[in-house]
Structure 1
Amino acid sequence: MPVATLTISSRNYSSWSLRGWLVCRMAGLDFETEVLSGDDASTRAELLHLSPSFLVPRLVHGEIEVWDTLALSQYLNETYPDAGFLPKDPVARARCRSISGEMHGGFINLRSALPMNLRARHTDFKIFNGARGDIERIITIVEDCLSRYDGPFLFGTRPSLADAMFAPVCTRFQTYDVPLPRKVAAYRDTILAWPLMVEWTEAAAAEPDEIEELDMEF
């Protein structure tokens, strides 16, 4: 029987749920996933960006309850130090923490203009200038990391916390057919082919679409 429960909202729409699930799997945690109904008011508030504070994803691990993806990641890193969330080199470790935090707290224009939707495909999608600035910054981060650490992941040959944090952006790049430099496109494809991402995407494809007006409201 699983020792923990991870509560998420939507596999198809929720970038934070994806990040939380990825770090739990990366840690090797034995957990079950509980999916909130699309009729739940807090779920809708999260997915429509209307909630200033929500408790999803939320991990219950014994007597421990932790929410917010970054807090969840920090807890798992402390509990499972061999999971490899952060590089061993202190310089790389500081950079990994920094770009993970930047993704956690920033890129608001991109989140609003290009909402996560794994099942959708848009060609010739018009991206407004605010979101373009966010995309350019992400491209700079990815190119810098690949140059420093040789890829195929941001900090070398294995996924780190940063890759879990950047994974939803890679799905957005695919959904909205965002033009990318060659190396960044290769990184996007690496993330999308990551077995954990394939597993999540397949589950998202089978998820009931309970929030039918979601696309219209973004």
Structure 2
Amino acid sequence: MKLIIGNKNYSSWSLRGWLACKQSGLHFDELTVPILGEDWEHVKTSTSDLAPSQGKVPILWDGDAVVWDSLAIVDFLADKVGRDRFWPKDDAARAMARSMVAEMHSGYLALRRTLPMNVRKRLTLPGVPEDVRDDVVRILTLWAEARARFGQGGPFLFGTFGAADVFYAPVVSRFLTYGIGVPGFAQAYMQAVWEHDWMQQWIAAAEAEDWVIEQYEMPEE
């Protein structure tokens, strides 16, 4: 398999696709393309592997099969290796995990727009807009319920690392970047995600990147 991803410092959806591939346990090669760089328009049109997704990342190739969109990648990989690798076995837990992933996939637009992922940055914001605060409260509420109801088996949302953690990992990064205050249980969860071996690999690669996308860089003040 081959996974095509964007800049590791900025591309939250690429992180999800990459973590999903790691979670599958299957071997994959990765190709990083410099999204939104000076030659991005040329890269999009000249890289045949990107054609099916019209330049959107992540995109996963498995022989002749091509899958774009991070949620589709999770579903495709779960079909290959078994859903239990990604989703809780318990029906109630699995229902909540799937709903949380779907909500992350389609929602929290204010959070995404206002606080873009930037792994390398650490900022102190004087405050956040009300719509962003509403997204943060909603996320923390879901995290609290998942941990209270189904998190007894480990430090992650449903105990062991799975699809829900794959999808909320970029949120963890955003909360750390922008100094979003969270309660103790969320701090512990975020630490578990941040210190996960795969996240540490991604972070190290993001810090080693030498390109900067100015629209995702925010002033210190």
**TM-score (norm. length: structure 2):** 0.87
Give the distance between the partners of 1:132 and 1:22, measured in 2 at CA.
Answer: 27
Q: CA deviation at 1:94?
A: 1.1
Give the distance between the partners of 1:164 and 1:146, measured in 2 at CA.
Answer: 15
Give the distance between the partners of 2:120 and 2:87, measured in 1 at CA.
Answer: 31
User: Given that residues 121 and 174 in structure 1 are in contact (C-alpha distance below 8 angstroms), is that contact kept between their aligned partners in structure 2?
Assistant: yes
- Aligned-partner residue type, residue 105 of structure 2: H
Q: CA deviation at 1:42?
A: 8.6
Change (3 A) 1:131 1:211: same
Following superposition of structure 1 onto structure 2, how do residues 25-44 of structure 1 map, counting pairs within 5 Å?
25-37=22-34, 38=37, 39-41=39-41
Structure 2, unaligned stretches of length 5 or more?
A: 45-53
Within the candidate set 175, 188, 191, 1:189 is matched to 191
Give the distance between the partners of 2:140 and 2:2, measured in 1 at CA.
Answer: 35
Change (3 A) 1:111 1:82: closer
- Aligned-partner residue type, residue 28 of structure 1: G
Q: CA deviation at 1:90?
A: 1.2
Give the distance between the partners of 2:124 and 2:205, measured in 1 at CA.
Answer: 24
User: Given that residues 22 and 164 in structure 1 are in contact (C-alpha distance below 8 angstroms), is that contact kept between their aligned partners in structure 2?
Assistant: yes
Structure 1, unaligned stretches of length 5 or more?
A: 45-52
Q: CA deviation at 1:212?
A: 3.8
Following superposition of structure 1 onto structure 2, how do residues 135-150 of structure 1 map, counting pairs within 5 Å?
135-149=136-150, 150=152
Report sequence identity in percent: 41
Deviations, residues 164-194 of structure 1 (Å, cap 9, x unaligned): 0000000011000100011011111111011
Number of aligned residues:
206
Give the distance between the partners of 1:203 and 1:21, measured in 2 at CA.
Answer: 13
Give the distance between the partners of 2:61 and 2:98, measured in 1 at CA.
Answer: 24
Deviations, residues 96-131 of structure 1 (Å, cap 9, x unaligned): 111000000000000011110000000134211110
Give the distance between the partners of 1:98 and 1:16, measured in 2 at CA.
Answer: 18
- Aligned-partner residue type, residue 96 of structure 2: R
Match of 1:56, SS state, is: coil
Change (3 A) 1:187 1:137: same
Moved over 4 A (4+): none
Q: Does residue 165 of the first structure (1) align with residue 167 of the second (2)?
A: yes
Q: CA deviation at 1:216?
A: 5.8
Q: CA deviation at 1:145?
A: 0.7
Match of 2:200, SS state, is: helix
The residue number in structure 1 matching 2:155 is 152
Match of 1:6, SS state, is: strand
Q: Does residue 175 of the first structure (1) align with residue 172 of the second (2)?
A: no
- Aligned-partner residue type, residue 145 of structure 1: A
The residue number in structure 1 matching 2:114 is 113
